[in-house]
Structure 1
Amino acid sequence: MKTQINGTDILELGFPEGKIIGIALKINSKRNGFTREEMIANFKNVLAAPENYIDNAIFSKLAVALIEKANEKPEDFIPLNQNPNTYTSYGAGHIEEGARKQMEVAMKLPVTVAGALMPDAHQGYGLPIGGVLATKNAIIPYGVGVDIGCRMALSVYNIPEVFYYENEAKFKRELIAHTKFGAGHGFHGQYKSNHAVLENDAFNLNPFVKNLKDKAWSQLGSSGGGNHFVEFGIIEFEQDDVLLNIPKGKYVALLTHSGSRGMGATIAGQYTKIAKEVCKLPEMAKNLAYLDLNSQLGQEYWLAMNLAGDYASACHEIIHNKMERALGAEVLTKVENHHNFAWKEIWNGEEVIVHRKGATPAAKGVMGIIPGSMTAPGFLVRGKGEKNAINSASHGAGRQMSRTQAIKNITKTEMQSILKDHGVTLIGAGLDEAPMAYKDINQVMAAQQDLVDVIARFTPKMVRMADDGSRED
């Protein structure tokens, strides 16, 4: 016998999509002594006559939301463009419909100038992950993403490949000693790091941002949860690279992936909420609410976003410096790039704001890193400056299974088997990050040959991730 009530049940009763479903589910989660059938009956009654429940202790919030919804008029919302420009999609045959639909909605915003969808794209909140959107003087918090400034950083050492295999125990010891993972986790007391980013004037932007400084300090130099990692691997240059001054060969390298930790997530949540309050878009587009960059709120978010980006870069810098000292190695080159950010760029002769949510900057000559998975290769790339892609490329392989699907469908034995087959040592990580949860990176790279040149290939050998399957908060 079915006892639970889910969103589909509430929709079938005739409730409108959107926040009202969430309000009903929250009421149902408390149950207040009602059986499933009684709760369903109450929901039907509130829907039929919400005015009778305005003062009801349990259902008043739902009743008020229904009345407000019923009184909404089209003129209450910023209209969408019904004849939007088209966007360019790369690897379209392997991109899920949800991501394509989100991109189509984003193209209808009145501030949208151009868009592109990368071959690793999948559905997210607002702009799809793998979505690139150029706007006119407007910034979309959910177009940047929750993990503001999430980025890649690569250090190539003057250490030959054979040294890694002869000293795996040392590499494992240093990887464990100099990294920290897990959502909400940080350092305390004497273990805290210092960095110039903590003196950034933007921390004094307003009381909200100022209150994040202590959390930022404690988490400085850590990596968080989710798909963030620190890993050693072998990078191969098949020919001399004159620009990087690296001869052909195989080298040990350190690759890191993480963002702005709890500080960035809190900024994203706050300014998304504010944007939704001041930028009333139709239901289908509400997560794309934007802030005018000429407004005080727009400038606040812009400065806070850049602070979070600088902070994310500082976290990588600390990890890489610690590892360089621990290994006693010389760094031949270091490359890094954001892939959850917004930039002021020139497009068709005018300044626009380019949002890259899970996309790598790939202007002509710009270096970037596109990882695969814990068993699939990553690639050091140089951008070609493809205009149709808005000077962008993918940020990785992209998920083909949600975290929930991966946990349900992949066994620990299967994950251990594929790690063994690829000679990868894994420290931490849950089944939600199993290699099988990701698209084929080679397929993704084949779809963006017009966007980047591959300079070197990185093969993961020792990977550390959060061991609790945690996401950032």
Structure 2
Amino acid sequence: MNNTTQNKPINGNSLIEIGYPENEILGIALKINKKRTGFTKAEMLDKYAQVMSSPQDFTEDKIFKSLAEAFINGIHLPKIDEEIIPLNENPKEFKIYGIEKIEDGALNQMKIAMQLPVTVAGALMPDAHQGYGLPIGGVLATKNAIIPYGVGVDIGCRMALSIYDLPASHYFEHHDILKETLMKNTKFGAGHGFHGKYKAEHHVLDDSKFETNSFINNLKDKAWSQLGSSGGGNHFVEFGLIDFKEDDKKLNIKKGSYLALLTHSGSRGFGATIAGHYTKIAKDICKLPYNAKNLAYLDLDSEAGQEYWLAMNLAGEYASACHEIIHQKITKELGAEVLAKIENHHNFAWKEIYNNEEVIVHRKGATPASKDVMGIIPGSMTAPGFLVRGNGEENSINSASHGAGRQMSRTQAIKSLSQNKINDYLNDFGITLIGSGKDEAPMAYKDIHEVMNAQQDLVDVVATFTPKMVRMADDGSKED
């Protein structure tokens, strides 16, 4: 895409395609576009998607404040003559893990989700915090219904871990080479991707689900350009040391400390556009009361429900392909053997059996933790992460947390934290940081040890991962 195309004005159709309502909000968004302040068209569209998904993060943003407030204040209330689907008067009960550290906003969002007429069961993980629709850390089982914002904007976001046949000492002996390897083989940030000969190739681009409809097919070029890249916000690629206190026969890894590569990101702009498009369709079809409007759902037997199900699965496979490419490139550069590769995803929905019936389990920022299922639960850039095995706990709907969870909003972190203090803190832990902003500072996250203590029934810890060299986006972009 040339610079002229990238900087063309964004029109109403561009915003409607990513899920914007055709009312006053559209007008506010278009006015903002006139003062784009250096963003490319692709970057602006990603920003618009972010504001729509998490308006609370933009209430003090100089450019997007008015748009965020319009979403928060419900400027697009349903028309008086619309037939509203009533919520159940009494919410179903749900299990809460680590309630002491969970904010009221997340608890209230979960209670509303438990009032949906399609809700079967739910659970809230100890890293939970307020999101958009279903809280981040929310798990919701529904009967034959799929909620696009119950899945989330970054569809199929995931963790991937490669454990190498290299001792921990390799990191300290080859620090500068490893830093160069990260810089050379990764690309970050909202709207960023590859062009020309630098585009990656992967069989996911040949998936027949791209032919589901013209909307999905038209996103293929965008998907191709960002294939093998990472998003903004809390997405990262990092080298660290993973420590096994004893032999693990299932993974065939002996006791010891090894160099490992850990990545976190999702389906990029491809997934965000799908989320926006089908959320708009769901809201048009499923009219819920204002406090539940972001939980609009699609019947899985409907045409729109089937389309979204296919698109969601394609976005998940695409996200996995992005990780696969990053790991392959870095592993080749290292010339190492992979002893084990573990991958798990969140922001997704699965067909599972719960209480002897098939349900759709939405895990928005929650890790699958069925019996013996492997997972990775990261802390922060200075806190350990954990390689775990699920215990198959039914009360949590076979789920666990997907990380430590935020204790500070992005705006709060940017306003209250000193960059010098952050730098000193990173130095104390021996962290080499490439990129990132104050909103991703370690202090913005909950204590991972408290989170893990709250879910001892859900997972068993297999090994501990200590971050050492972290690369993140440095452009202030956000993709949860």
TM-score (norm 2): 0.85
Segments of 5+ residues of structure 2 without an aligned counterpart are 1-20, 33-69
Distance 2:30 2:297 in 1: 32
Distance 2:372 2:411 in 1: 39
Distance 2:100 2:327 in 1: 38
Distance 2:119 2:315 in 1: 24
Distance 1:182 1:278 in 2: 33
Candidates 358, 368, 376, aligned match of 1:369: 376
Structure 1 position 321, deviation (Å) = 0.4
Q: Deviations over 1:235-268 (max 9, x none)?
A: 0001111100000100000000000000000000
2:28 aligns to what?
A: 26
Residue identity matched to 2:231? G
1:103 aligns to what?
A: 110
Q: 1:27 to 1:226 in 2, by over 3 A?
A: closer
1:350 aligns to what?
A: 357
2:306 aligns to what?
A: 299
Q: Deviations over 1:45-80 (max 9, x none)?
A: xxxxxxxxxxxxxxxxx9xxx99969626x811111
1:384 aligns to what?
A: 391
Distance 1:28 1:173 in 2: 41
1:5 aligns to what?
A: none
1:170 aligns to what?
A: 177
Distance 1:71 1:149 in 2: 34
Distance 2:146 2:383 in 1: 34
Segments of 5+ residues of structure 1 without an aligned counterpart are 1-18, 31-61
Distance 1:67 1:404 in 2: 23
Structure 1 position 163, deviation (Å) = 1.4
SS at match of 2:261: strand
SS at match of 1:123: strand
2:134 aligns to what?
A: 127
Distance 1:395 1:106 in 2: 20
Pair 1:141 & 2:138 matched: no
Distance 1:220 1:20 in 2: 31
Kept after mapping to 1: 8 A contact 2:24/2:75: no
Residue identity matched to 2:407? Q
2:472 aligns to what?
A: 465
Distance 1:142 1:22 in 2: 22
SS at match of 1:128: strand
Pair 1:269 & 2:276 matched: yes
Q: 1:296 to 1:372 in 2, by over 3 A?
A: same
Candidates 438, 447, 455, aligned match of 1:431: 438
1:253 aligns to what?
A: 260
Structure 1 position 291, deviation (Å) = 0.2
Residue identity matched to 2:122? G
Structure 1 position 83, deviation (Å) = 2.4
Q: Deviations over 1:267-320 (max 9, x none)?
A: 000000110000000001000000000000000000000000000000000000
Structure with the greater alpha carbon radius of gyration: 1
Kept after mapping to 2: 8 A contact 1:184/1:472: no
Residue identity matched to 1:387? E
Candidates 279, 288, 300, aligned match of 1:281: 288
Residue identity matched to 2:195? H
Pair 1:72 & 2:74 matched: no
Q: 1:293 to 1:69 in 2, by over 3 A?
A: closer
Pair 1:220 & 2:227 matched: yes
Moved over 3 A (4+): 19-30, 66-71
Kept after mapping to 2: 8 A contact 1:103/1:117: yes
**How many pairs were matched up?**
420
Distance 2:278 2:83 in 1: 21
SS at match of 1:193: coil
Distance 1:27 1:175 in 2: 36
2:421 aligns to what?
A: 414
Candidates 393, 411, 416, aligned match of 1:404: 411
2:454 aligns to what?
A: 447
SS at match of 1:203: helix
Identity rate of aligned residues, in percent?
A: 71
Distance 2:405 2:108 in 1: 17
1:329 aligns to what?
A: 336
TM-score (norm 1): 0.86
Q: 1:71 to 1:177 in 2, by over 3 A?
A: closer
Pair 1:180 & 2:197 matched: no
Distance 1:219 1:28 in 2: 26
Pair 1:152 & 2:159 matched: yes
